[in-house]
C-alpha cells in the first residue's frame, strides 16, 4: 500500500496546528504587549479625528476618508508639534483630548454646540462667524480665524520633550525672563510669556514658540553671559553658571543673585534688546523725538508724527534698525516710545502679538489711533505679510489716516479704506 497517500493528511493537520499555534501566540502577545499601532488606529473614530483636523486646517476636507494613512499621520504630527505633545503621529488619548478641546473652543466662539465634532453644523457656524467678522467664509478655523476668535493655535515649545523644556526654562530664568521656580519642564503660560518677552527683546517672531531661531538666539545670549562670567560657554544656564555670575556680580558691586538681568548684562556690555531697541539701531542715525504726553495711544501717534519726512539712505538704511525693509522696525519703534515692550522687523509679528495679548481686532473692526494695521494675506511669512503702518486717525466714513515707515522710502501719511487696500489685521498695543 503506497505510503504517500498518508502524508498529505498529516501535513495538512500539521499546517493547521502550526497556524493555530501562531494565532494563539499573536493573541498572547497582544494581551501582554497591548494594542499595536494598527489596532490603536482601528479603535479610533478615524473620520471624527479627520473632521477635527480638517476643521482646524491641519488636513484637507478631502482627506476625511476613514483611512489612517500617511496624510492623517502627518496632520496629527503637525497638531502635536503645535500643542506640546510627543509628535509620534499616533492620535492617543492626550492628542485626542487636546484636539477635541481646541474644536470645542472654536465651536463656543462660533455659537454652536460644543460637542468636539467639526461636522457640517460647525462648518456652517464658522462660516457665519467669518462673514460677520470680514474673513474669508470657508468654515475652516485656520490661523486667521482662530486669531480673530482669540484662540491660541500654537501653545508649545515646538519640541514636546521635558528635558528640552527644562533647558529652555533654565536659560530664560538665568536671563531674568522667568522665575527660578518656573523650571518645571512644563511649557505653560509663564514659560510662554517669558519666551514672548525674550523674542520681543531680540527682534524675533513674537509667537511664544521656542523654535530653532529662538533657541539659537537664547543659547547665544547665555553663552555671551558665560564668557563674561568666566565659565564654559555651553549655552546651559545651570548651577555652574549661576555661581560664576554671582562671583562676577560680587566683584562688580552688583546684587549677587546669579541672574543676568538688565543691570548685570549692561555691566557685561551685552545688548539685552536688539533690532530697533537702541537709538539708531545698526544702520546709524538717531531719531529726534520731542517730549511726548498723554495716553499710550497719544504718545504713539505723537512719536509717529515726529518722524514724518524721515527718508532712508543707501539700501534700506534707516534710523530705527538694520539696513533692511523697515516698516515694522518703524511701527514697533513708535510703540516703544509709549512704553510698549515690542520690537520686530517683520510685519506679521504684529498679528502674533495681538493674538497672544488678546488685542487682535475682529476682522478690521474698530480701528483706533496708535493701532498697527497690517497688509497682505496673512502672517505666515514676508511674502504673505508685506507691510505695516500706525493708525493716526479713524474717520467716520470708514477710512483711516496712517503714518507708515518705508512708504516710498520714507515716513509718510496715507489715507484709505482698510479692506480696499488689502489690510488683513488691526492690532492694539496691550494696555492701551
Note the pLDDT tens digit of each residue in 53-66.
999 988 888 889 99
DSSP lists the bridge partners of residue 391 as: 402
pLDDT value, residue 278: 33
In the chain, % of residues over pLDDT 90: 47
84: left (phi over 0), alpha (psi -120 to 50) or beta: left
Q: What is the pLDDT of residues 118-140, one digit of tens each?
A: 999 999 999 999 888 877 888 99
pLDDT value, residue 22: 52
pLDDT value, residue 16: 58
Q: What is the pLDDT of residues 149-173, one digit of tens each?
A: 877 776 654 444 566 788 999 999 9
DSSP state of 63: G
- Residue 78: which of 70, 69, 87, 65 has the closest Cα? 87
Contacting residues for 358 by C-beta, under 8 A, at least 6 apart: 150, 430
Contacting residues for 99 by C-beta, under 8 A, at least 6 apart: 49, 52, 53, 56, 79, 91
305 vs 191 pLDDT, higher one: 305
Global pTM exceeds 0.85: no
**Most confident of the following: 162-176, 272-286, 389-403:** 389-403
426 vs 19 pLDDT, higher one: 426
pLDDT value, residue 231: 95
Report the range of poorest mean pLDDT among 154-163, 208-217, 389-398. Answer: 154-163
The distance from CA 428 to its chain's CA centroid, rounded to whole angstroms, is: 18
Give phi and psi for 413, each to the nearest 5. -95, 140
Residue 334 has pLDDT above 90, yes or no: yes
- Residue ranges of domains in the chain: 44-82+94-112+120-148, 162-272, 276-427
Q: Which residues of 4-36 are buried (b: 16+ CB within 10 A; e: fewer)?
A: eeeeeeeeeeeeeeeeeeeeeeeeeeeeeeeee
276-427 has CATH 1.10.760.10 classification:
no
373: three-class secondary structure by DSSP? strand
- Residues 403 and 411: beta-carbon distance below 8 Å: yes
390: three-class secondary structure by DSSP? strand
Residue 279 has pLDDT above 50, yes or no: no
Q: What is the pLDDT of residues 77-105, one digit of tens each?
A: 888 877 777 778 899 998 999 899 999 99
Burial of 286 (0-12, 13-18, 19+ CB in 10 A): exposed
186: three-class secondary structure by DSSP? coil
- Residues 139 and 123: beta-carbon distance below 8 Å: yes
The distance from CA 329 to its chain's CA centroid, rounded to whole angstroms, is: 20
pLDDT value, residue 191: 82
Give phi and psi for 171, each to the nearest 5. -70, -40
What gap in Å lies between CA 124 and CA 406, rounded to an integer? 41
DSSP lists the bridge partners of residue 407 as: 410
Residue 299 has pLDDT above 90, yes or no: yes
* pLDDT interval class at 405 (50, 70, 90): very high
Residue 294 has pLDDT above 60, yes or no: yes
Q: What is the pLDDT of residues 26-49, one digit of tens each?
A: 444 444 444 444 444 554 699 999
What gap in Å lies between CA 143 and CA 251, rounded to an integer? 50
412: left (phi over 0), alpha (psi -120 to 50) or beta: beta
pLDDT value, residue 157: 46
Mean pLDDT (the chain, rounded):
82
Residue 413 has pLDDT above 80, yes or no: yes
pLDDT value, residue 309: 87
Amino acid at each position: 500500500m503506497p505510503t504517500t497517500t498518508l502524508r498529505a493528511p498529516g501535513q495538512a493537520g500539521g499546517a493547521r496546528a502550526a497556524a493555530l499555534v501562531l494565532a494563539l501566540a499573536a493573541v498572547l502577545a497582544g494581551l501582554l504587549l497591548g494594542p499595536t499601532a494598527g489596532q490603536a488606529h482601528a479603535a479610533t473614530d478615524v473620520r471624527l479625528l479627520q473632521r477635527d483636523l480638517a476643521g482646524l486646517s491641519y488636513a484637507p476636507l478631502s482627506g476625511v476618508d476613514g483611512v489612517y494613512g500617511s496624510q492623517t499621520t502627518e496632520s496629527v504630527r503637525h497638531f502635536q508639534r503645535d500643542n506640546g505633545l510627543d509628535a509620534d503621529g499616533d492620535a492617543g488619548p492626550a492628542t485626542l483630548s487636546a484636539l477635541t478641546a481646541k474644536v470645542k473652543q472654536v465651536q463656543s466662539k462660533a455659537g454652536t454646540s460644543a460637542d468636539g465634532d467639526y461636522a457640517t453644523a460647525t462648518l456652517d457656524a464658522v462660516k457665519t462667524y467669518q462673514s460677520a467678522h470680514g474673513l474669508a467664509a470657508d468654515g475652516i478655523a485656520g490661523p486667521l480665524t482662530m486669531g480673530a476668535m482669540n484662540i491660541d493655535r500654537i501653545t508649545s515649545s515646538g519640541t514636546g520633550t521635558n528635558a528640552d523644556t527644562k533647558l529652555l526654562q533654565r536659560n530664560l530664568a538665568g536671563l531674568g525672563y522667568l522665575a527660578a521656580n518656573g523650571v518645571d519642564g512644563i511649557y505653560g503660560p509663564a514659560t510662554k510669556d517669558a519666551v514672548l518677552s525674550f523674542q520681543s527683546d531680540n527682534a524675533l517672531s513674537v509667537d511664544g514658540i521656542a523654535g530653532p531661531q529662538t533657541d539659537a538666539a537664547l543659547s547665544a545670549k547665555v553663552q555671551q553671559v558665560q564668557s563674561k562670567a568666566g565659565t564654559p560657554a555651553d549655552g546651559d544656564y545651570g548651577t555652574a553658571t549661576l555661581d560664576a555670575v554671582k562671583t562676577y556680580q560680587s566683584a562688580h558691586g552688583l546684587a549677587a543673585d546669579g541672574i543676568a538681568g538688565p543691570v548685570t548684562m549692561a555691566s557685561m556690555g551685552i545688548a539685552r534688546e536688539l533690532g530697533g531697541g537702541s537709538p539708531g539701531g545698526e544702520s546709524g542715525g538717531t531719531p529726534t523725538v520731542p517730549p511726548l504726553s498723554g495716553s499710550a495711544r497719544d504718545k504713539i501717534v505723537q512719536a509717529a508724527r515726529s518722524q514724518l519726512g524721515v527718508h532712508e539712505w543707501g539700501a534700506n538704511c534707516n534710523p530705527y534698525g538694520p539696513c533692511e525693509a523697515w516698516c515694522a522696525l518703524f511701527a514697533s519703534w513708535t510703540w516703544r516710545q509709549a512704553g510698549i515692550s515690542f520690537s520686530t522687523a517683520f510685519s506679521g509679528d504684529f498679528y502674533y502679538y495681538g493674538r497672544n495679548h488678546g488685542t487682535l481686532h475682529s476682522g478690521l473692526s474698530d480701528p483706533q489711533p496708535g493701532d498697527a494695521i497690517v497688509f497682505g494675506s496673512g502672517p505666515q511669512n514676508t511674502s504673505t505679510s508685506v507691510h505695516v503702518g500706525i493708525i493716526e486717525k479713524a474717520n467716520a466714513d470708514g477710512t483711516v489716516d496712517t503714518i507708515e515707515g518705508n512708504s516710498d522710502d520714507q515716513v509718510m501719511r496715507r489715507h484709505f479704506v482698510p479692506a480696499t487696500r488689502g489690510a488683513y489685521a488691526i492690532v492694539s498695543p496691550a494696555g492701551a
